[in-house]
Structure 1
Amino acid sequence: MTDFIRWTYENRFQISIDLAAGSISGIANCISSHPLDTVKVRMQMSDDGVLKTLQKIINNEGLKGFYKGMSFPILSIPITNAVVFSVYEFWRKFFIGNSNKQLTYFQTAFCGSIAGSSAAFLSCPIELTKCKLQMQEIEKIYKNPIDCVLQIYKKEGFKYIFRGMHATQQREILGYSAQFAVYECIKDILCDLSQKAEPSTANLLISGGLAGVSCWTIGYPQDTIKTILQCQTCTDQRIYKVRCFDGGFYDCLTQKISTEGFGSVWKGYSVCVFRSFYANAIGFYAYELAKEQLTTLYQF
């Protein structure tokens, strides 16, 4: 514990840089991805395809319908992303210290999984509120994110705020482990191909985009189940049996596949994978750029 406190104090400025850069990355990612995230959530909760979902939102709610539920994520995702990147950087330094060694891709995936697990405790209630607001088409049950949280607490209790935690943990652990490992792997490959020591802007964008695709591909079925569990009402939730503190995940998954087929857990994937490429490309590039600029200012 003493060594940990000493290390934290000695690296306090670097930790601050990681937190700030992660926050900037989160804002860039959220602004660029939220409209298609709304489409994804609507598709996960219906039988509509991409075009029909888009048409419904535009006809019934206008362009502002794509931004429903964005206020809470835009305020909170900087914190979540700051946790992800700072925890990732912390564990990366745990393996290599202050040396210039490179992590193995397995170590990178391990660091990403811990970062994802840490983020889940923040992202679960944020996702719950976001999904509830995104599903409001015509009738408005919740006025804003705070009203949503208060209503959920009054009607269904504090524990419901963390509904879908098991699915969220699975999505974040698997997704972030894949994301960081693929990001570093693609970045190394592109640097080798270009025969340059430092990655170019194009390399960072491509690496970030493919990292985002891998993240959401490995975690998408879990995300679908998470959305279903979080969008259910208190009465509907009782149809899913809770086993070993899984929050109804296993029962929801088996019922979904047995009644609608395996493809049902991939509803909205096409929209999500498109969104994940450009949003994560922007997010990773924003992180690298912010980290570089902040480090330069600190050294100055």
Structure 2
Amino acid sequence: MDGTFKFADFIAGWFGGICGVVVGHPLDTIKVRQQNFGTKLFVAISRTFRHEGIPGFFKGMLCPVLTIGPSNAILFGVYGNLMNVFNENYVPRQVSHTDFDALRHVFIAGTIGGFFQSLFVCPAELVKTLMQIKTEGKGSWRRHSEVVYTGSIDAFFGIVRDRGFRGLFRGFAPMAIRDVPTSGLYTVTYEALNSYFEQCHVPLMLKQTIAGGTAGVASWILVIPFDVVKSRIQADSYNHPQYKGMIDCFYKSYQRDGLGIFFKGAPAIVMRTFPVNAALFVGYEAVLRHL
């Protein structure tokens, strides 16, 4: 893959990612608040709207908007280059759904791309989570707001100042488990469905919408418990932490809230994931075709 394709993927990934962020961030905010405050979906939505209005649903969106382009470039750049290593005749989005050797390469390349992407994304997810739990409500709705940041940039530099750069990677373990293998599943699902729908002569935008949305749901549905733990660790107090690590968070969350807590926010995740990834791939492919 030459430099032109890498640059085109970066621009297309940035645009597609922003499309996904704008579509999905309100439900992502609700998901994070459910996971940290233990509220039901419609309670979280109504409470957010009542106390903060529409802007409350978009808290913490600056970091994803600024980082989603580079993070997508990392995922798709590593993925594309590795696919070229595995097969010099590789053509993006033209892997046959019946070619299991090629799909195995797709999974491996996607997994490795997901690892490097998660290294980049973890600090942004931390800042986003801290901003999303910064609410205007009272009582338990505010129980995590020990340190108050004025915005995403203030949160980023505040963490570096108080905890060093290592502090930006809080919650990386559950995030890596959440994102690394599922990035392989994500790319496999998209490539396979793309190939299948191509044979069925499905219209281009409909094909991308269904393949992208389904890939997103398939890659998320199995790892929601790790997303809950990641959110709780990242939202935890720095000075008086409840959790010693990922395993401790699993144990204490189960002891306090039961098994159901590990699927808290699942409806919001499913409702968000399909349109987000559909918008991401439609935007990505549209820009890529014109570069």
Same fold (TM > 0.5): yes
Matched, 1:249 2:264: no
Q: Residue 22 of structure 1 contacts residue 83 of structure 1 at CA under 8 Å; is this kept in 2?
A: no
2:184 to 168, 177, 180: 177
| Post-superposition CA distance 1:132-163 (Å, at most 9, x none) | 01111127811111211222233333322110
Count of matched residue positions in the alignment of Structure 1 and Structure 2: 275
1:4 aligns to what? none
Aligned partner of 1:25 among 1, 16, 34:
16
Which 5+ residue runs of structure 1 have no aligned equivalent?
1-7, 242-247, 295-300
Equivalent position to 1:88, from 61, 69, 79:
79
CA RMSD for the aligned pairs?
A: 1.9
The corresponding residue for 1:68 is: 59
Instruction: Provide the residue aligned with 2:124 in structure 1.
Output: 126
Q: 2:161 aligns with which of 154, 159, 168?
A: 154
Give per-residue Cα distances to partners, 1:267-293, cap 9 Å, x unaligned: 001111111001100101111121121
Does the aligned pair in 1 maintain the 2:224–2:266 contact within 8 Å? Answer: yes
Deviations along 1:185-223, whole A, 9 cap, x unmatched?
A: 22222233x2x3x86211111000100101211332211
Q: How does 1:74-113 map to 2 (within 5 A)?
A: 74-99=65-90, 102=95, 104-113=102-111
Q: Is the 8 A contact 1:23 1:82 kept in 2?
A: yes
How many percent identity over aligned positions? 30
**What's the counterpart of residue 279 of structure 1?**
276
1:212 aligns with 2:216: yes
**2:79 touches 2:113 (CA, 8 Å); kept in 1?**
yes
- Cα distance in structure 1, aligned partners of 2:22 and 2:264: 23
By relative contact order (CA 8 Å, sep 6+), the higher-ranking structure is 2
1:234-283, CA deviations, whole angstroms, 9 ceiling, x for partnerless residues?
Answer: 1333x433xxxxxx112211222243222211100111111100110010
Contact 2:38 2:261 in 1 (8 A): no
1:197-276 matches, within 5 Å, as: 200-237=204-241, 239-241=242-244, 248-276=245-273
- 1:99 deviation in Å? 4.9
Assess if the C-alpha contact under 8 Å between 2:62 and 2:152 holds in 1: yes
Q: Do the aligned partners of 2:216 and 2:277 also contact (CA within 8 Å) in 1?
A: yes
Partner Cα distance (1:288, 1:151) in 2 = 37
* Alpha carbons 2:236, 2:243 under 8 Å: kept: no
Q: TM-score, normalised by structure 2?
A: 0.89
CA contact (8 A) 1:80 1:119 kept: yes
- Kindly indicate whether the alpha-carbon contact (under 8 Å) linking 1:22 and 1:84 is maintained by their aligned counterparts in 2: no
- Tell me which residue corresponds to 1:297: none
SS of equivalent residue, structure 2 residue 247: helix
Task: Give SS of 2:186's match.
Answer: helix
SS at 2:221 equivalent: helix
